[in-house]
Amino acid sequence: MDLLDRYLAAVAALLPKDQRQDIVAELRDVLLTRIEAREAELGRTLDRGETEALLKAFGHPIAVAGRFGPVRGLIGPELYPFYAFAVKAALGLAAVVAVLSAGIAALKTGDAYDVVPRAFYAFVSLGLGLIGGLTVIGAAIERGWIRLGRSVDWKVSELPHLGEGWNVGWGGNRRSPLKIRLEALFEAIALVLFILWMSGLVTAPWMVGEVRQGLVLAPAPIWTELRWPILAWACVQLAASLTSVVRPDWVRARAALDLVTDLAGLGFVALFWRSGRLIQVLAEPRVADAASLQRALDTSFQIAVGVAVAVFAIKVGIDLWRLARGRRGAGSGGA
């Protein structure tokens, strides 16, 4: 029943959490009854292709989940889940574009305080425009003005394998592929900005700045010494994020990449600890409070190192657990 479990898992991922277990149990009974009736009619067990055809005839998982939602006039219950999915993706895209455009504008003007309002207004205007366009398209599809034809063809065997945790017994507590993709996308954007800063293509205003006349904060020499190893580390982490964007079901691949970067992260923390500081205070001799500021920064750095060690150690344990879990589920089609 691999196809049936995969089909029900795809439906479960789109259902409200408080109703998910009951609805999926009901759907399982309905589909098993149909499978048994078809097998009795043929006098034999259905093969994989026949099972897939029966499930496909029942409806796309998004459309099936939509049958259990509230009735909507402009966009029908079967089309609404597709519409809601598109709106969430559009809002994610609008957020990414807004943040990037505001960040680039801030880098050009040198005004970092204008980033938040600029990003907010860009997100609102672009997001509302995209939602309006999707609503018009959805209403046109609902009324038959736009015909999709074979563009909506799909296969049960091509649905993402979400693992055993999506079975009815668990009640579906895992994150949906869409949420995994969006989180990985934002992580990738942050890493790209970090790579641009480390490579010297952009200037990070939070690392170099004049606190007041004669008192400047600058990166410690350790950043220059470890520039290329850190760049390599960030590129591997970026590959892990992009892996989750493209294939959120590749749990073992992402866990393996995360394990490499987290172990490397522990190594970097050790090197930073030996260096003694991340930020150094550059001051003219006449500035009296430069030494006290440096001590405060060094104390904050020591506390941060302790927290970083704990975080990376916990992440390594989680990565090892995900790898072990992935091996147990590898036989059912997971990566």
Which tens digits make up the pLDDT trace of 212-261? 556 777 788 888 888 889 999 999 999 888 888 888 777 788 888 888 99
Distance CA 137, CA 91 (A): 16
> What is the predicted pLDDT for the residue at 63?
74
Average pLDDT for 3-29: 83
Average pLDDT over the chain, rounded to an integer: 75
Range 55-81 burial, b when 16+ CB lie within 10 A, else e: beebebbbbbbbebeeeeeebbebbbb
> What is the predicted pLDDT for the residue at 165?
44
> What is the predicted pLDDT for the residue at 168?
41
The amino acid present at 285, given as its one-letter code, is: P
Average pLDDT for 30-35: 88
Residues 6+ apart with CB under 8 A from 70: 77
Give CA torsion, residues 301, 305, 306, 309, to 10 deg.
170
Average pLDDT for 150-165: 54
> What is the predicted pLDDT for the residue at 89?
78
Residue 209 bridge partners (DSSP): 217
- pLDDT grade for 334, boundaries at 50, 70 and 90: very low
Q: What letter does residue 205 receive in the DSSP assignment?
A: T
pLDDT in tens, 76-132: 666 666 777 778 878 887 887 777 777 666 655 555 556 677 777 878 888 888 888
> What is the predicted pLDDT for the residue at 169?
37
> What is the predicted pLDDT for the residue at 164?
46
Query: Is a pLDDT exceeding 50 seen at residue 67?
Result: yes
Distance CA 97, CA 125 (A): 11
The DSSP secondary structure of 109-154, one letter per residue, reads H--GGGHHHHHHHHHHHHHHHHHHHHHHHHHHHHTTSS--GGGG--
- pLDDT grade for 148, boundaries at 50, 70 and 90: low
Sequence spans of domains, the chain: 177-335
Chain-centre distance of CA 217, in angstroms? Answer: 34
The DSSP secondary structure of 5-22, one letter per residue, reads HHHHHHHHTTS-HHHHHH
Query: Is a pLDDT exceeding 70 seen at residue 206?
Result: no
> What is the predicted pLDDT for the residue at 204?
57
Look at the block and give the residue holding tokens 């060094």. Answer: 298
- pLDDT grade for 171, boundaries at 50, 70 and 90: very low
Beta strands in the chain (DSSP E): 209-212, 215-219, 279-283
> What is the predicted pLDDT for the residue at 333?
41
The two three-digit tokens of residue 83, written as one number:
């519409």
The length of the chain in residues reads 335
Phi first, then psi: give them for residue 173, nearest 5 degrees: -100, 0
The two three-digit tokens of residue 55, written as one number:
């499930």
